[in-house]
Amino acid sequence: MSSATAVRRLKLLTRTIGTGTRIGNMKHHVTIIGSGNWGSAIAKIVAENTKANPDVFHEEVKMWVFEEQYQLSPSHPRYDRSKHSGSQNLTSIINGLHENPKYLPGVALPANLFATPSLPDAVSEASILIFNVPHQFVSNICRQINGSCLPYARAISCIKGVDVSPDGISLFSDTIGRKLGIYCGALSGANIASEVAAEKFSETTIAYAPPEGPTEDFPEGLTPVPEELPAVDHALFKTLFHRPYFHVRVVSDVAGVSLGGALKNIVALAAGFVDGLEWGDNAKAAVMRVGLLEMRKFGKMFFAQSCKSATFTEESCGVADLITSCNGGRNHKCAMLSVRTGKSIETVEGEELNGQKLQGTITAREVNVYLRNKGLEDEFPLFTAVCRILNGEANVESLPQLIETD
């Protein structure tokens, strides 16, 4: 952390505690960073729960939106020619309609949810930050936030990816924590955004386990949450996220929860290839079995001190998310259509996702670079096969041979 950033954070902490302007009524402010389909669905849940728990949370929830121009369709039931004849800022449309028509159309958002295009404004009062952005934008977003967020803020990452470079691999929850000097947990589960937003029953897993003392990432320890605020613990996060239609289990295995959400996207691509070839359920089950083993092996190999095998086999973030993603997720869909149409998966992505990006293709390639540099590609034949197919180095029909092991 730069000295200038440290000074800004100290001033912010002093002003917050000294004047009581931010915590005088002893409630948590919550901000969502991101407004895609999953970000908007999570924002809906959170805003419902802040309103339902006024003794713990401020009712108003802010949602940071990457500002863009959007033209509301004349077929929209609330289209008004006098207001919507031209393109408008997406934030204005969201706040006016209480709907995100671009990324989560047809779903009513709570009136206490407010979209803002300003990252500093979105985070400046928030004691709880929820990150829900494509993982390739995390570092830049953290740079914009650094120095603006409260030093005692706590965060949850809903980002389904891992931060991979040729030299190392880390969780996005750890990346966020290091860059902002705050602790960040993780949320992941069998959660197709449109189904959650439609209030169809589902469940998720939240991992939260802040260190109790100094660590390598926090050599001076975490800035404590002021005693005037409700304790930030497993119970608070269950209160913030649990709904009758969205059940929550809170655990301490941040690595397992994060890796489950990231690596299952690679397996979902393989399942999509299989369905594109119309090989049937037996073939897809075989791919899923191998994929689950590789997910667990990856966690135990590279995060041995914290990752638990049971997280992959017993929690929603593991086997349940894998099942869902291999049957109905966007990675599966685009891989399947790529095989059926003969188009590249990048072309299908552009045609099907309304400007959003697949996480599976990015994760597959980044993980492969890491494994190749470690000389471990053969230890993960399914992960390796998916990357080779994506890169045009192998054809889809060879998948059974590529994943066969002695």
Binding site feature residues for substrate = 160, 330-331
User: Which residues lie below 8 Å from residue 331, measured CB to CB, with a gap of 6+?
Assistant: 265, 268, 269, 272, 325, 358, 359, 360, 361
Cα–Cα distance list, 164 to 202, 229, 302 (Å): 30, 36, 12
Collapsing DSSP to helix, strand or coil, 75 comes out as coil
Question: Residues annotated in the binding site for NAD(+), as ranges?
Answer: 34-39, 66, 137, 193, 330, 357, 359
Distance CA 228, CA 226 (A): 5
Distance CA 102, CA 116 (A): 16
Cβ atoms 130, 158 nearer than 8 A: yes
**Residues in a beta bridge with 168:** 165
Question: Residues annotated in the binding site, as ranges?
Answer: 34-39, 66, 137, 160, 193, 330-331, 357, 359
DSSP 8-state secondary structure symbol assigned to residue 110: P
Cβ atoms 40, 107 nearer than 8 A: yes
Using only C-alpha atoms, the chain has a radius of gyration, in whole angstroms, of 21
Give, in degrees to the nearest 5, the angle at Cα 132 between 11 and 148. Answer: 10
Break the chain down into helix, strand, coil percent, rounded to 5: 50, 15, 35
List the catalytic residue out of 102, 264, 284, 333: 264
Burial of 219 (0-12, 13-18, 19+ CB in 10 A): exposed
Cβ atoms 112, 47 nearer than 8 A: yes
264 is catalytic: yes
The DSSP H or E segment spanning 224 is none
Enzyme catalytic residues? 264
